[in-house]
Structure 1
Amino acid sequence: MSSDAAHQPTVPLPELFPGSGDAGSAGVPDGQQPARKKSRWGRRLTIVLVVLALLLGIGAVIAEFTLRQTVPEVMESAARKQLSLSADHEVEATVGGTSVLWQTLTGGYRDVTLRVPDAPLGDLRGEISLRAYRVPLNPTTGPLTAATGSVTLTPEQLQPLLSSATVGLAGEVSLEDGEMQIKSSIPLFGAQVPLELGVTLAASPEGNVLITPSRAKAGGLEITSEQLSEGPAQMLAPLLEPREVCILDRLPVGLTLTDIDITSSGKAVASFAADPKIVLDAAMREKGTCGK
């Protein structure tokens, strides 16, 4: 070997593993390691938020389901108390709207319906249906925004009104062709003559029942208004006079009769408007009075 070759400078070998030296970060671009740490924390935070959202969603579903069960039960219990019904009397309450939980959080229920079959109404009994809008969580803290109701009566349940409607005439009652039809008999010339009487029902401005006879048939013959002015048919004249029957003493002061409809199924549906303060004011739930 020549002396020149022995004195050549030593050239270092290239690093096979960059970054494994003392510097630790050799070969790694500046700022990349902190970015990786931030990325890990971001992923962890996202996972935590997703888990929390899932837990909140599950909790909301459970709360909604629970309120859907408990809120109607509370309303049904309150209705039984207001109407003095037994604990086992059927009452059905329904809360409308997309979320009972949201309605509870906002302080009131926007659409509540209540159905009470065979409810007592003085000497009448019928099915009560009520619909209220914006019912407060505690009804004693504020009035309803609006409320309407109806009472459905069968011919049998209308019997107590029959005496007032027909001047004491009793008989078989049916509801068809938009009117109340009564089949009975009256004494005429010493014999009982079959009588059929048809009357329409409506609401007066005062909230009473307007009864207007529409037709009469005695012994199978139609009785005309001309016949009522002379001859034996005169005795039927009182039966064919329109009259107003007061029902204010059978209803709470806060309810006003607005309409009466005879359905095709043979029932009478009486519609009512409710004073918004009927739940708030006990005086509105007291029975009214008839007479001057």
Structure 2
Amino acid sequence: MSQPTPYFVRPTKRCLSDLGLSFPALELPLHQVKDALVAKSQQVPEEVGAGSAERIRAIKDWVWFKVKVSSFRGAVTELDHAVDHGPEIAEAGARWWMGAAGKRQEDSGDDFYRSLKAEVTRAGRGTGSTSSGHLLPAEVDIRRLRAELAVQVTLGINTVVRKAIAASIKTGKVCTATFSHHRIAALVRARDGEAYLAVTAEGFIDPRLLAVILGSVPHVAHSDWLPEPQGEFGIEPEPGQIVYSTIVSAASQAAMMEEFSGEELSDF
């Protein structure tokens, strides 16, 4: 049986500003921001699917749904599937967004729904309807998503490389991992009382990607790596391969073994 698609709701920069928040570190996806309204908004896609979500009726030009927690309110929508919103949206599956937020204060000019209705009415003046397009993700939101995806790729490569090295430390064998269109092989060998590490990178090696691979090893600076055109420890480079080697300290080895201490490495 196939698993349901894991939907998530990202707050826009406008929404974060409404909540008095700023963009967090890139390692934290926006839908995981520590905020009660953002957390509650994650339930909206499921509520929509179940037919229990409440629409914001004051917005006529697009379907926006209410999200409520305590005295806070938000407006959540799903992007149009028929429109190409760019590769970042497609890659991340970022279909759902919360475009605005505020406090529910009935009989007050600062009430979220009252203010939102006035805002979209002004934006739609002369059209005969409301206009809420400005609440959809803007260029700044796409740039943030793009940066998050880049960080996720980097962190994923870092993890794969370190795990391959940890597996080699444990087994004494060449351990290979494949990601995207690239393949790396790691081998750790003891020599003259020190441990040496050789890493083979295969595929189209963008210098930035190579920097990420070599930067994955804790306590090892980029300047500590040396190219080994003739191979190292029996790793003979084939066409399209690059072999780099370095000395890996006991602290570095211990850090990687600790990171994957609860995982199976023998079959890596």
What TM-score results when the alignment is normalised by the length of structure 1? 0.21
| Structure with greater helix percent | 2
Q: Which has the higher strand share?
A: 1
Between structure 1 and structure 2, the one with the greater Rg is 1
Higher RCO (C-alpha 8 Å, min separation 6)? 2
